[in-house]
Chain A
Amino acid sequence: MLKIKNLTAEIDGKQIINGLDLEVKSGEVHAIMGPNGAGKSTLSYVLSGRDGYKVTGGTAELDGVDLLALDPNERAAAGLFLAFQYPVEIPGVQMTNFLKTALNSIRKSRGESELEALDFLKMLKAKQKALDIADEMLKRAVNVGFSGGEKKRNEVLQMAMLEPKFCILDETDSGLDIDALKIVADGVNRLRAPDRSFLVITHYQRLLDYIVPDVVHVLAKGKIVKSGGPELAKELEAKGYAEIVA
Chain B
Amino acid sequence: MPKLLPKSLPDLDKEHWKYSNVNAVLAKLELVDQKPLWEMTGAFEFMTVDQEDTIHLIIPKNRKVDKPIDLKLIGEDGKNLHTNVVIDVEEGANVKFVERQVGVGAYWKNISIALNIDANAQVGYYRLCEEDPFCVVTEFMTVNMERDARFNALVVNGCSGFGRNEFKVNLNGAGSEADLAGLALLRGKQHGDTTVCIDHIAPYCKSSQFFKTILEDQSRGVYQGKIHVYKDAQKTDGYQLSNNLLLSPLAEMDVKPELEIYADDVKCSHGTTTGELDETPMFYLRSRGLNEEDARHMLIEAFVGEVLDKVSDEQIRALFDDRVKLWLK
Binding site for B on A (CB under 8 A): 48-52, 71-73, 75-77, 81-82, 84, 87-93, 98, 101-103, 105-106, 109, 141, 158, 162
* Chain A residues near B291 (CB-CB < 8 A): 71, 73, 105, 109
**B280 with A88: CB separation less than 8 A:** yes
Complex-state Cα separation, A88 to B295, whole angstroms? 14
Given contacts A51-B279, A101-B298, contact A90 B290 (CB under 8 A): no
Give the A-B contact count at a CB cut-off of 8 A. Answer: 78
Neighbour of B286 across the interface among A71, A84, A87, A93, CB < 8 A: A71
Within 8 A of A (CB), among B299-319: 299, 301-306
**A84 with B290: CB separation less than 8 A:** no
**B281 with A76: CB separation less than 8 A:** no
**B289 with A102: CB separation less than 8 A:** yes
Query: How many residues of chain B are within 8 Å of chain A by beta carbon?
Result: 23
Within 8 A of A (CB), among B51-102: none
From residue B90, how far is it (CB to closest CB) to chain A in Å? 38
**A90 with B287: CB separation less than 8 A:** no
Binding site for A on B (CB under 8 A): 279-281, 283-292, 294-295, 298-299, 301-306
Neighbour of A93 across the interface among B279, B280, B289, B302, CB < 8 A: B302
* Chain B residues near A73 (CB-CB < 8 A): 286-292, 295
Neighbour of A158 across the interface among B283, B288, B290, CB < 8 A: B288
By DSSP majority rule, is chain B's interface helix, strand, loop, or mixed?
Answer: helix
Complex-state Cα separation, A91 to B241, whole angstroms? 15
From residue A164, how far is it (CB to closest CB) to chain B in Å? 10
Complex-state Cα separation, A159 to B4, whole angstroms? 61
Given contacts A91-B302, A92-B303, A101-B298, contact A71 B289 (CB under 8 A): no
Complex-state Cα separation, A87 to B284, whole angstroms? 8
* Chain B residues near A106 (CB-CB < 8 A): 288-289
Pick 11 A–B contacts, CB within 8 A, sort by A.
A48-B287, A50-B283, A77-B289, A87-B284, A88-B284, A98-B285, A101-B294, A109-B289, A109-B291, A141-B302, A158-B288
**A88 with B290: CB separation less than 8 A:** no
**B288 with A71: CB separation less than 8 A:** no
* Chain A residues near B280 (CB-CB < 8 A): 88
Complex-state Cα separation, A3 to B32, whole angstroms? 74
* Chain B residues near A92 (CB-CB < 8 A): 301-306
11 additional contacts, CB 8 Å, given A73-B289, A90-B285? A50-B283, A73-B292, A76-B286, A88-B281, A90-B281, A93-B298, A93-B299, A101-B290, A101-B294, A102-B285, A162-B289
* Chain B residues near A162 (CB-CB < 8 A): 288-289
Complex-state Cα separation, A216 to B279, whole angstroms? 32
From residue A53, how far is it (CB to closest CB) to chain B in Å? 10
Complex-state Cα separation, A69 to B283, whole angstroms? 16
**A51 with B283: CB separation less than 8 A:** yes
* Chain A residues near B298 (CB-CB < 8 A): 93, 98, 101
* Chain B residues near A158 (CB-CB < 8 A): 288
From residue A72, how far is it (CB to closest CB) to chain B in Å? 4
* Chain B residues near A91 (CB-CB < 8 A): 302, 306
**B306 with A76: CB separation less than 8 A:** no
* Chain A residues near B289 (CB-CB < 8 A): 73, 76-77, 102-103, 105-106, 109, 162
* Chain A residues near B283 (CB-CB < 8 A): 50-51, 72, 88
Complex-state Cα separation, A48 to B254, whole angstroms? 37
From residue B16, how far is it (CB to closest CB) to chain A in Å? 32
